Amino acid sequence: MVLDTRQLLLQRGIAMLLRHGYNDLGIAALLEETQIPKGSFYHHFESKEDFGLQVVDLYMKEVHGGLDQCLRDAKRSPLQRVRHFFEMSEEKYRTEGYLGCLLGGLGQELSGVSQAFRRKVEQCFNEIARRIAVCLREAIDQGALPKETDPDKMAELLVNCWEGAALRSRLRRDPAPLREMLDFYFRNVAA
């Protein structure tokens, strides 16, 4: 499959933003890696910020694909589906050298300096948590979680814990924090 110029820039942008972060990602380096002329970049993107925000949108399409695949898997219980999503995410992180979550990295780097990125990343985390909460509600309905469980808070806590573990995993280049967090969360949620 041949990618169009915009798609190629965005896909390479995900990998380069994970490796270098936003501030250290030079447009010249991106263009050199993709062999795309500078004019083509500015034909598709108004600015580096516009490019970065569109990279987040593409990344979220991948995240939503993973959420769809896992959370709609009727062969698994709701809690197994949620855990499976995070296990798939950990596997993706492994293939990328444990560089972690693009959202978490950009959020840490840019939330204090860019309202656009702060809002975008927060919106993405909220959407992930919202979708997980739907599955947790199903677990409550099936009796796998106590009736008094607040699925929205549980989902937000899970995303928050995951992002902290993803940062530690990135620092160590080791999956242990991710696995330990999942084990702890699901052992205590299902208790």
The pLDDT of residue 79 is: 97
Domains belonging to the chain, first-starting first, are: 48-189 (1.10.357.10)
The pLDDT of residue 95 is: 93
Q: 58: part of which helix (H) or strand (E)?
A: helix 48-71
DSSP designation for 4: P
The pLDDT of residue 5 is: 92
Q: Collect all residues with Cβ–Cβ distance below 8 Å to 158 and sequence separation of at least 6.
A: 82, 86, 129, 132, 185
The pLDDT of residue 36 is: 92
Residue type, 124: C
- pTM over the 0.85 mark: yes
Long-range CB pairs of 74-77, under 8 A, 24+ apart, other chains included: 77/139, 77/142, 77/144
pLDDT in tens, the chain (191 residues): 446 999 999 999 999 999 999 999 999 999 999 999 988 999 999 999 999 999 999 999 999 999 999 999 999 999 999 999 999 999 999 999 989 999 999 999 999 999 999 999 999 999 999 999 999 999 999 999 999 999 999 999 999 999 999 999 999 999 999 999 999 999 998 76
The pLDDT of residue 3 is: 66
The pLDDT of residue 189 is: 85
42/59 Cα distance (integer angstroms): 21
The pLDDT of residue 1 is: 47
